[in-house]
Structure formats: structure tokens, C-alpha cells
Structure 1
Amino acid sequence: MFKLASLACALFSAGISAAPVVLSDVKGYGFDNQRQLQQFSVLVFDDESGKVLSRGDAAVAAQYPAAKRLSANGKTLLPGLIDGHGHVLGLGQNLAQAELRGSSSEQDAVARVAAFAAANKDAPWIIGRGWNQVLWPTNQFPTSALLDEAINDKPVYLERVDAHAGWANSKALALAGITKDSIDPPGGEIVRDSKGNPTGVLIDNAMLLVEQHIPSPDAAAKARALNAAFAHLLALGITSVHEAGVDTDTLRLYQQLAAEQKLPMRIYPMLSARDPQLPQWLNAGIVDDPTDYLDIRSVKIYGDGALGSRGAALIEPYSDQPSQKGLLVTQPDQLTQIMQLTINAGFQTNVHAIGDLANRLVLDRFEQLVPEDKREASRHRVEHAQIVSPKDIPRFAKLHVLPAMQAVHATSDKNMAGDRLGVARLRGAYAWRSFIDQGSIIVGGSDFPVELANAFHGIHASVTRQSQDNQPVGGWLPEQKLSLTEALRSFTVDAAYGAFQENSMGTLAPGSWADFILVDRDIYNIPAEQLWRVDVEQTYVNGKQVFAK
């Protein structure tokens, strides 16, 4: 550990009050109030208030003769990273489940589940996540058959990597009462074989048929999961997360942690539109936390499914499945009602929309429901904005709707998106450059644990449009690449803008929170293909070290 880590740790652990602190010999990058990149070699912050006081060069350091002095020994310093769309509780729970991400086949996935079950003999259910049939040789959904061979004495339920499909063994299907005669719920599908029998795969709203039978974790288990997620995220340099869909129990747990000053990072929770107590939260009004650890002013609404499970709602049928157009998990009339409810309450309305039909339906409602003079100030969002009709992209700018996009979805989906959509529809798919060029502000994120919670993977994908093995050569749909500064903005000041927080975080400008990270290489002086390899060595929140490698 280099000099800064050891000295800072000693000072802070000793509880010595030492405002201000002059941190010098940094390769610092931040932004000004116009979102323009700024470089500096000195950062001055107050470790009592947690605010940045100044930044610049040696002349700035000289203005604080009585300050503590620390040296970063030439390390690169960046604003704390903000993930604009993640699932903190889901990440923490995922860390304690069967990990199926990267499984090479259905057989490999089952083997992993069997090994997990053998190591967790007392678990009443075997839960896992991360399978992706698109990466398997068969390219087909799995079935219950192999799962039943491996585990037939207890229920097994495994979420697809995007959480828009579930894979169950026969024991779980039986507990849910799913048979040949079961009816598909609205916005969901029970996948069946040629004889009409359930195969074990459930898509979108059909997943609830099984999930309602899985024992709910108690508050203590949720707290353990959150703490595991916090540690994981801080080690990746993520100092703030916009949590996309939080129920009442989880939100109350966040409030308890915040009241006890036990939140080590900033959370911007979106109230789940599915929560029965949503009207009560809306009636209580916006919670504007002066410390920005827990600002409550947004709602997550669910529009359609995901592309990989053919649940994304499309205007025209899937190119590789002409009988399907996807699923609307919230029906149009209900979508209008919920959006109207949240907009009228003055809350930011953030709607999950992946397919071009879902995006159009959401934009139509924003146009109808939000008065023109309130559109820019409201900062309503479309979560994902993944496949948009080219003629609908300009509507985001016209309506001042923010696209909250996850760059890693493009590099994860590139192997199947063309099959699902065909060439023509790709013109409006993962179209980051088109959004930026028209003046839209992209709220960057990862959608963890759907993807890995590493913002540098997203920055790399934004700049290269390539996988981590540099494929395809030149990038996939390379005309949609972003510059490094645009990509960094999406995970810092632009993500902060998506939470009404751009004046307090994401820039390291004077007056903002001293949330910053030190990394192992200068991102502006390495080949773009190395961006995903950037390693975080230290993380600071409010001027206090919360992680050191």
C-alpha cells in the first residue's frame, strides 16, 4: 500500500479532526459546472464537512499553509463512480447464491447448481442466477429434465442473467401448481414443449408463480446482503448507486442504516411501482437528504421484458421468432395510470423500456402527461432505452427525457441482437452516439447483478464497442462509440444529473462532496482496450477512506 493509504488510514482511524486536507501529486480529472473536463494536481478537501474546498496546482496548495498534507505519489484520481442503474440488494443476495454467469452449457449450469446444493444441504430452496442460453452451443432454453436428475428432493429456481426469465425444477413447478392446464398470466409466458407441457422456463410475469413461494429473507438477512454489496461496490470505486426498484421493507432498512450513519455509500432508491405502499410514499412527498446519502424522489415502473428472453416489446415481430413480439409486463392502461400517479406527486418517473414498442409507449405518455413547461425540470427517465425506433430517438431530447443506459448490455448482447432484431432495427439499438449528438444526457450504469458491477467495463464498452477480447475488430456498430470523456461523464456528473445531484457529486468541483477514487493507471494515457482492466486502489466518500486495496 502506497503512502497515502497508510497515512490517511492512520489519521482517520485515530479520529483526529484535520480539516482541511491537501492531497497533492495526483493526476486528477474532474468536471466543472458546465460538465467540461478539468485536470489538476492538487485536491483540497475538508474531512469534517466532507466537501471539496479547492483544486488546482501547487499555488492552490500554498493557500492552505496549516492543512494536513498527503501525497498520492502520482496516482490517478477520479470522481467517485456513480452507477445509474443497479440492484444493491439483488447483488448482495446474488453473492450468496449459485453463480451461473459464464456457464458454458446447460450441463455446466446444472453441475454448478448441484455443487452449490451439496455445499448448502440445509437450504430449503436452491436459488441461483446468471444462466444465458444464448451463450450455450444449443442456443435453446433449458428444461427441468437435467435439474430433476441432479436435485429432485427440494425446489430449485434459477434466474436468467437479465432476471427476466426463471428456470425451475419439477419440485418448484409442483409447489407453484404449474401444470399443462395453467394459463399464462398477463405479461408472462409459461414456456411449453410440443405437447403443451411446461418445460421449466418462465418468462417475466410468469416468474411470480414460483417466486411467491420462495421464503422471503428476514431483515437481518437483507442487512447482511446489503453490507456484502456495499463492500463489493466500494472496492470497485462505486460511491453512489441509483437502485432500480425498492420495496417498502428494503427502503425502511435503508432509512434505518442512514439514521444510524451506517450507510457507507450514497443510495438513490427508486420506489418500486409494484409495492402496495407506493401511494403512501408518494403522499409523504420527496425526501431531500442534505447529506445526499438517501434522497427519495423517484419511482421505477416496469414496461416490458428483456431482449435475451424475447420479452422486450417490439413494434414488429422478432426476426428469429416471427410469432412473438415480446411482452408488456405492465399493460398500457395501467402504465398510464401509474405514470400519472407518480408525475402528479412530483416524483421522477423512471420506466423500464427495452423494446422499441415499450419505448414508444413510454414516450407517448410522457408527452401526454407532463406539461411542456415542467419537462426539463422533472428529469423523467427511460431505464435502458435499448432498442428505439430511429424516429423516436429525437423525442427524448424534445421531451427532455433522460436515457439511462448500460453500455455493457451492448457488448453482452451483440452476439444475439442482430438475430433478434434484424439489420434495420439495429440503427436504433444501443444508440449512445445518436443520443449524445442531439444533446441528451446519458445516465450510465451497469444493471448489476445482471452484469458485473464494474464501471470500467462500461466505460470500456462505451469507447470501444468491443468485448474484453477486442471483438469485433473496430467495434460493434462503431458509429455509436463515445469518447472517453463522454463515457466518464456518464458514470459521474451525468449520472448525478439523473438524480438531481450534479451540484453535489460527480465533478469534484469546490462545494461538492469529496467522493473520489485512486486508480492504478492514467485512463487518458492507456490504450482504450485496456480500460476494462483499470483497478481501484482506494475509495473515499465524504473525504473518508472507505476502501483500500
Structure 2
Amino acid sequence: MRIVLSLLVLTFSLVANSVNAQSTLYFNFKGYTPTGLAGEGAQLKRFDGLVVRDGKVAATGDAETLAQLFAGKDLKRVDLQGKTVLPGIIDAHGHMLGLGENLMQVDLREATSEQDAVARVVAFAKIESGDWIIGRGWNQENWQVRNFPTTASLDEFLSDRPVWLTRVDGHAGWANSKALEMAGISAETVSPDGGEIVRDESGQPTGVLIDNAMALVEQQLPQKDASYHRRALTAAFDHLVSEGITGVHDAGVDATNLAVYQELAAEQAMPVRVYAMLSAMEPALPELLAAGPITTADDRLTVRSVKIYTDGALGSRGAALIEPYHDDPNNRGLLVTQPGAIEDLFELIIPHGFQINIHAIGDRANRIALDKFASAFDTVGGRNLRHRIEHAQVVHPDDLERFAELNIIASMQPTHATSDKNMAEDRLGKARMRGAYAWQTFLQQGTIVAAGSDFPVELSNPFFGVHAAVTRQDRSNQPEGGWYAHEAMTLEQALRAFTLDAAYASNQEELLGSLEPGKWADFIVLDQDPFAVDSAKLWRADVLATYVAGEAVYQQSSQ
């Protein structure tokens, strides 16, 4: 007790030295924050008073005590009317440009069939005047007839304008005949390495292209210049702050996108903190690495990691598996980047001190990633860079403990489990589910799990992710009891995965991720207390206000 009291006195003495500066006391709320070190050693703190000074947390604790400590004519007081305060949410894996584009294109996420998807595209085409009709979000696994769509259904209504519709996971695309013609795709076209041109029984392209084959059409799309990037990123910013997201790890940024980020940061026009992962496919990657890490003074933009792709996605059967697909015995998935090229990238990236964040969904892809990390640590080093496997979705049981042994962070997206539950067993069979979506297994062995959404593959709302993490159910609370519920997180673990542990995954836990003195005052105000409601209602949390560096970047109009 004497030690605790001494620490409190020290904390108060430090903040008392700055009480003459402009401070804001937030009071009359229920506050929760993880504190201390990231991972299972963190402690959940409850508080009802928060003092912010110069954009950072000056103190948290009992509101009355803080009011006395900071009493003075310059103390501003804000009554939060009994609501709940949490640290700002950090989405550890999203795609900012993709989200912005999604907000500007036809959204097929809610389509219930191929015909319904076509109808939505036709309706969009009536109001969209561009040469191309572009959209995203279809998922045949949510349709009654769970087959890939075809050009024929699009051609019936849209034959004179090229159409390109990306699958929800971004690992397959659906084109009409006009788009295939412009891309030069015919029955004679050979599928590229790491990709597939899906064909019918007669060998004709069906209109669906998987992984690296998508580039054949995407090379024909209108050029995305800096102005386009800026509009898309701005739309994404506005959307995310309304959902309580104050930080995003942007998974795969090219040189154009990076330049726009730097412009926005210089203009102080970034309401969301971005930890940008350079795309390994960027031709200028060697030059960008040689230029060194980027960190702005206000920590709104940080660049010191690289995103590498290993395989595709499970839904499109592009995830690379050790054994064949349970529902496709002749298919083991696709390697988007070959092992030799991955090794070359490791040798290029690590000496520059950049973190590697490698996309791996299937068990073969995860094993390759782990093998390459182990080999690189022995040859070029870099073990201390907090490397990550993005998704770590299906891991062979023999490889689970290797995450802890190699100090690899599992960057995972809880809503993937609840979205995939209708098809994962079909793809894998029950035996391989032991190492799939294994959040609690990772946590129990001491592996840091950084949570995200993978937007726009999934919806960006972080409380959908918190709900999925805790219940292992969809938002209809199915299946009863949860899907492989033994891998569910506790609410405290889920909150930490979206805050402090996500900050740890970007080497920023001393700046972000919790409401502790000295850290940036990034916090959100909710209409409900997640620790007081039934877990089935976690996804219903409504964000009333979002603050970044102590400034309101979003407030509901009724506030």
C-alpha cells in the first residue's frame, strides 16, 4: 500500500507542476483503460475523471480529487453526462484507400444473390457517368446458390461498358465480357503465377479472376492520381472517426498513397493516426526503405513497416494449404509471392530496421512465413522488430507455439471468424479447425494479438469486432453458444487487442493505446458501458464523440 501511495503522490506532483497551463477536466463518466505493459500483464483501470493538457493525458482518477488538484481559473470542465469513456480504438489492419473507394463505388456487401448483385450494379450504372463501373463486396458464400458469378449475368444488362467488381475479401474479381476483352483475356490466355482465370467446362473464362490474375483487368482501370487518393482517404477519415477509430494500421501503401499521406500530415488534415505499411509490390520500395522511417512530430503519420503477401483468401480458395481443400481435393490454394521472393524481401527490409507484416491465411502460408522469419533471424537479424503475421487465420497446430518462440505478433480480425463460419469447415474440414481463428490459444501462450477489421473486407465498426471476439457469434447471435467458443476472448482482452496491444504492434505503446499520463489523449465517448451490458449487445455501442490529441474530431449532431 505504501508503494501505491508513493506512486500516486509522485504522479500528482508531476502533473501539479503544469496546472498553470490550460487543462480540461472531463468528469461524470465511467472510464476504462488498460494500463501498464501490453499483453496479459496489463491491468484494467476504472476512473471517472480525466485531465487533458497540450493534447496529452495529464491525469486520470477520481474526478473530485483531480478537480482539487487542478483547481484554477484556467481549468475547463466538461460534463460527459454519465456516458462511458474508452481509449480511442486502433484498427491494426485496414485498407484506407480501399475503404474510401468503397464509399465512392457500388457496394455489393448486402447482395443476397448473383441476380441481386447485378441489379445493384445496374442501378448504380444509371447514376454513374464514368467509363468503368466499379464495385466491391460480393460474397457468393452468402448467396443461396453458392457458386461464383459469371459474365453472362452482367452482359445481359451491361455489355457496352466495362464492369469490374471485387470480391469482399479483395482476392477475386468479377468482370463482364467488355472488361475481359479490354484485358485481352480469352480461352487461350494462360493464368499467371499466383493467380487463376476461372474457366467453364469448355475452357472459356467465366469472368472470375483470382489473386494475381486480377491484375490483368486492374491494369486497364482508370489511373488513380493523387487527387483521387486524397478524396478517398478523406472519405475514409470521416467514416472512421464516426465509429470511434483514432488509429489505423494501413496494410499496403504505394508511393502515390504515401505522398498524399505526407501532404495531408503537413497540412494537419489527418484526424486519424495512420501507421502505414509500405507495399512490398511498390517498385520504389528499395528507395523508400533507404530514405528511412517517417514519424511526424504529432504522431499522425508513422512509416516503418512493410506489407508482404504470401497467399490469397479462404473464401476464394486462394489461401495456401498444406493439404488440399476439403471441398476441392485438387486444390491447395495459391502462393501470391513465392518463397524465394519472400526471402529476398526479408533480406532487403530487415537491415533498414523496418518491421515486416506478412499476410498469411492458410496453414502452408503461415508455415512459410514462420520459416522465413526463423531463417532471417539467424542470417540478417531483426528479431527485435516486432514482426507480425497478418491474419494468422489457419495455423497448423504444430506451428502455433512458434509464434511465441519467434516473438511474432498475431494481427487478427475477429469478424473474419463470424463471417467465415458458414464456409470455413467446408474449406478445411473439422480436423484443421483446431488451429483456425485461435485467439485464446495465442493469448494463453503469451502471443500478442493485435485486433483489426480488415476493412473494407469487413465493416470497419470496431464494436462489431469486439462483439465477435467475445461471443464468437454474428450480430444475430448465431450460432447459439458461439462458434468454437473456447477460442473467444474476454471483454478485457478484446478491448486491449483493439487499443494497447494494437499500439504495441506498431511500437507505439508508450504514446498510444491507453489513457495514461504522458500519452496522447485519444479517447471516445460511448452511449453504453460495455462492461455492464449483455455481451450479445456489444455490437450496438454507439459512438457519441471521438477525440484525438484532446480535440473533438467527431461529435454526434445531438451532442
Q: TM-score, normalised by structure 1?
A: 0.95
Q: 1:297 aligns with which of 292, 304, 320?
A: 304
Name structure 1 gaps, 5 residues minimum: 1-16
Q: Distance in 1 between matches of 2:82 and 2:377?
A: 49
Contact 2:132 2:221 (8 Å CA) reproduced = yes
Contact kept, 8 Å, 2:350 with 2:381, in 1: the verdict is no
Per mean C-alpha deviation after superposition, the further-off stretch among 259-268 and 231-240 is: 259-268
Task: Give, in whole Å, the separation in 2 of the partners of 1:371 and 1:296.
Answer: 25
Tell me the residue number matched to 2:226: 219
Please state how far the C-alpha of 1:345 moved relative to its aligned partner: 1.6
Q: Is the 8 A contact 1:343 1:370 kept in 2?
A: no
Asked whether the equivalents of residues 83 and 444 of structure 1 are also in contact (C-alpha less than 8 Å), the reply is yes
Select 2:539's aligned residue among 512, 529, 532. 532
| 1:189 aligns with one of 184, 196, 201 | 196
CA distance in 1, matches of 2:379, 2:341: 23
Flag the 1:18–1:200 CA change in 2: closer, same or farther, 3 A.
Answer: farther
Name the residue aligned to 2:66: 60
* Offset at residue 372 of structure 1 (A): 9.7
Deviations 1:325-371 (A, max 9, x none): 00000011111111221112210000000000000000001001024
User: Given that residues 303 and 351 in structure 1 are in contact (C-alpha distance below 8 angstroms), is that contact kept between their aligned partners in structure 2?
Assistant: yes
Residue 336 in structure 1 maps to residue 343 in structure 2? yes
1:35-59 superposed Cα distances (whole Å, 9 cap, x missing partner) = 211000000011xx21100000021
Please tell me whether the aligned partners of residues 494 and 502 of structure 1 are also in contact (alpha carbons under 8 angstroms). yes
Q: Which residue of 1 aligns with 2:528?
A: 521
Where 2:331 maps in the other structure, the secondary structure is coil
The corresponding residue for 2:395 is 388
Deviation at 1:225, TM superposition (A): 1.1
1:117 to 2:120 alignment: no
C-alpha separation between the residues in 1 aligned to 2:118 and 2:21? 55
Structure 1 Cα separation of the partners of residues 329 and 463 of structure 2: 37
1:319-468 maps to which residues of 2 (within 5 A)? 319-371=326-378, 377-468=384-475
Q: For residue 11 of structure 2, what is the aligned residue in structure 1? A: none
Kindly indicate whether the alpha-carbon contact (under 8 Å) linking 2:253 and 2:276 is maintained by their aligned counterparts in 1. yes
Of 488, 492, 507 in structure 1, the residue corresponding to residue 495 of structure 2 is 488
Instruction: Judge conservation of contact 2:351–2:382 (CA < 8 Å) in 1.
Output: no
Name structure 2 gaps, 5 residues minimum: 1-19
**Contact 1:101–1:161 under 8 Å retained in 2:** yes
1:80 aligns with: 88
Give SS of 1:393's match. Answer: helix
One-letter code of the match for 2:150? Answer: T
Equivalent position of 1:164 in the other structure: 171
Checking the alignment, whether the CA contact within 8 Å between 1:20 and 1:44 is kept in structure 2 is yes
Aligned residue pairs, count:
530
Q: What is the rounded CA distance, in whole Å, between the counterparts of 2:330 and 2:142 in structure 1? A: 23
**One-letter amino acid of the counterpart of residue 110, structure 1:** V
Query: Does the CA-based 8 Å contact 1:18-1:68 persist in structure 2?
Result: no
| Range with greater deviation from structure 2 (217-226 or 20-29) | 217-226
* Alpha-carbon separation, structure 1, partners of 2:469 and 2:82: 27
Out of 309, 317, 324, which is 1:317 matched to?
Answer: 324
Determine helix, strand or coil for the equivalent of 1:394: helix
Q: Distance in 1 between matches of 2:102 and 2:169?
A: 13
Residue 99 (1) aligns with residue 107 (2): yes
Select which of 142, 163, 177 maps to 2:184: 177
Structure 2 length-normalised TM = 0.94
SS at match of 1:300: strand
- Give the letter aligned to residue 274 of structure 1: M
SS of 1:37's partner is: strand
CA shift digits 1:45-80 (9 cap, x unpaired): 11xx21100000021221000111111111100000
Counterpart contact for 2:351–2:380, Cα < 8 Å: no
Q: Distance in 2 between matches of 1:459 and 1:372?
A: 39
User: Could you tell me how far apart the structure 2 residues matched to 1:94 and 1:238 are?
Assistant: 18
Give the letter for the 1:546 counterpart: V
Question: SS state of the match for residue 443, structure 2?
Answer: helix
Q: How far apart are the structure 2 equivalents of 1:183 and 1:205? A: 12
Shift in Å, 1:217: 2.2
* Aligned partners of 1:76 and 1:521 also within 8 Å: yes
Q: Give, in angstroms, the shift of residue 25 of structure 1.
A: 1.0
3-state DSSP of counterpart to 1:336: helix
Partners of 2:97 and 2:552 in 1: how far apart? 23
1:171-200 residue CA offsets vs partner (Å, 9 max, x unmatched): 000000000000010000000000000000
Query: C-alpha distance in 1, partners of 2:464/2:348?
Result: 36
Q: Could you tell me which residue of structure 1 aligns to residue 24 of structure 2? A: 21
d(CA) in 2 for partners of 1:250 and 1:18? 38
- TM-aligned CA deviation for residue 290 of structure 1: 3.4
Q: Are residues 403 and 372 of structure 1, via their aligned partners in 2, closer, same or farther at CA, if it must alter by over 3 Å?
A: farther
- Rounded to whole Å, the distance in 1 between the matches of 2:380 and 2:182 is 52
Structure 2 counterpart SS, 1:95: helix
Taking the aligned partners of 1:420 and 1:277, their CA distance within structure 2 comes to: 37
Whole-angstrom distance in 1 between the partners of 2:329 and 2:260: 45
Q: CA, structure 1 residues 190+78, in 2 after alignment: closer, same or farther (shift >3 Å)?
A: same
Distance in 2 of aligned mates of 1:146 and 1:98 = 17
Q: Deviations over 1:497-537 (max 9, x none)?
A: 00011111111100000000000000100000000000100
Structure 1 residue runs of 4 or more that deviate by more than 6 Å after TM superposition: none
**Distance in 1, Cα, partners of 2:437 & 2:379:** 27
SS at 1:26 equivalent: strand
Contact 2:280 2:308 (C-alpha < 8 Å) held by counterparts: yes
Secondary structure of 1:54 counterpart: strand
Paired residue secondary structure (2:307): strand
Instruction: Provide the alpha-carbon RMSD of the alignment.
Output: 1.2
The separation in 2 between residues aligned to 1:369 and 1:376, in whole angstroms, is 9
